Amino acid sequence: MVVVKEFELCFPQLLNISCRKPMQNLAKDIFLHVLLSCISVLTVILNLLVIISISHFKQLHTPTNLLLLSLAVSDFLVGILVMPIQIFHRRSCWFSGNMLCGLYGYSSFFLTSASVGNMVLISVDRYVAICDPLCYSRKVTLKRVQLCVGLCWACSVFYNGVILMDFMKNPDRYNSCYGDCVVLITSIKGAVDILVTFVGPVTVIIVLYMRVFVVAVSQARAMRSHVTAITKGSSVCVTKKSERKAARTLGIVVLVFLMCFCPYYYPSFAGEDNSASLEFSVFALWLLFCNSCLNPVVYALFYPWFRRSMKLIVTLQIVKLNSCNVNIL
C-alpha cells in the first residue's frame, strides 16, 4: 500500500499491471494543454473555412480547388479527431479500451498519409499548369481529378491497413502496462513507411516545384525580351518581382513540409529509438500534426479568392439567397 501512495495508478485495483498516471508540473501542463488546444481549434477553423469556401461558391468548383478541398478534409479530420484525443492521452491514461486504441492509431496514420498524398497531387497539378499550360484543360479534367482523389484516399486506407495489420489485430501487444496505448510497427514496415510517406513525397514535391520555378522564371524572362524599349525598365522590375514571388512560394511549401516531417522521422534515419526521448517524440508528433494547421495557410490563404470567401463566411453573407453565385474570383 505504500507504493500506491507514492504515485497515482490508472487502475488502482490492478496494482501489478496498471500504468502510472503522468505526473507533470501544473503550470507547464496547463500551458501545453492550452497551446495544443489552440492548435487543434485553429486547424479545424482554417480547414473548415477552405471546405465551406470551395463547396459553397460555384466559381471555385475547379479541378485544382478539388485537390485543395480534399487536402482540407483530411487536415480537418486530423484537427477534430486525432489532435483532441492526443491532447487527452498526453495528460491522462487510456481508458477507452484496445479497440478504440487500434482505431485511433489507424486513423492518425491514415489521415496523415492522405494529407501527404493530396500535397503530392497538388504539386503535380501545379507542374502541369505551369509546364504544359496549353494542354492543362485537356489533361486535368474534373473527372480525372476526382478519380485521383479517390485513389489517394483508397490507397491510404489500404496502405495503412497493411502497415498496421499486426497492431490492429492486437492493439495492446506493445503496451507495457494496463492503461497505455502504444502504436509501433516493425523495422521493415517502418523503413517502407519512411519511403512512402516522407522520402517519396518530399522528393516529388521538391523536383516538381523546382521544375515549376525554372519554367516560371524562363517564361517571365521570355516575356521581358519581347517588350519595347519604352516599357523595358518597368518590365524588368515586374519580372524580378514575379521571380521572387515564385521563389518565395516554392521555399515556403518545401520548408513547411520539411520542418513538420523531418523531426518525426529523424530518429529513424539516425538509427535511434523513437521512444528514447519522450519529450522529443511528443514534440515531433505535434510538429507533424501542425502540418495540418499550416496547409490551409500555405495552399489557400495566398489565394485572393480564399480571403474574399473567408470574409463572406465570417460576415454570414453566404446565408443570403444565391450567395453561391457571387463573383469570388
DSSP structure string for 63-96? HHHHHHHHHHHHHHHIIIIIHHHHHHHHTS---S
Interatomic CA distance for residues 84 and 108, integer angstroms: 12
* Helix (H), strand (E), coil (C) string for 297-315: HHHCCCCHHHHHHHHHHHC
Task: Tell me the Ramachandran region of residue 62: left when phi exceeds 0, alpha when psi lies from -120 to 50, beta otherwise.
Answer: beta
Kindly state whether residue 227 falls inside one of the protein's structural domains: no
Looking at residue 177, its pLDDT comes to 79
Distance CA(41)–CA(79), nearest Å, equals 7
* Residue 225 located in a structural domain: no
Residue 207's nearest CA partner among 126, 283, 146 is: 126
Query: pLDDT of the chain along its 329 residues, tens only?
Result: 444 445 677 777 776 777 777 666 777 778 888 899 999 999 999 999 999 999 988 888 989 889 999 999 999 999 999 999 888 877 677 877 788 888 888 999 999 999 999 999 988 988 888 888 888 888 889 999 999 999 999 999 999 999 988 888 888 777 777 878 888 777 788 888 888 888 899 899 888 888 887 877 776 677 666 654 445 444 455 555 555 555 566 677 778 888 888 888 877 766 655 545 667 777 888 889 999 999 888 877 777 888 888 888 888 888 888 888 888 87
Q: Is 43 inside any structural domain?
A: yes
Residue 142 belongs to domain spanning: 2-219+235-325
Decide if 291 is inside a domain. yes
Q: Report, in angstroms and rounded to the nearest whole number, the Rg of the chain calculated over CA atoms.
A: 23
Residue 230 maps to a domain:
no
226 assigned to some structural domain: no
Looking up residue 267, the CATH number of its domain turns out to be 1.20.1070.10
Closest CA to 49 of 299, 286, 261: 299
Tally of domains within the chain: 1
In a domain, 135, yes or no: yes
Of 265, 259, 252, 149, whose CA–CA distance to 198 is shortest?
Answer: 265
Q: What angle, rounded to 10 degrees, do the helices at 142-163 and 97-131 form?
A: 140
Q: Residue 74 domain-assigned?
A: yes
Q: What are the backbone dihedrals phi and psi of residue 223, each rounded to the nearest 5 degrees, phi first? A: -65, -35
Q: In the numeric block, which cell numbers belong to residue 155? A: 490507397
Give phi and psi for 97, each to the nearest 5: 90, 170
Q: What pLDDT sits at residue 173?
A: 76
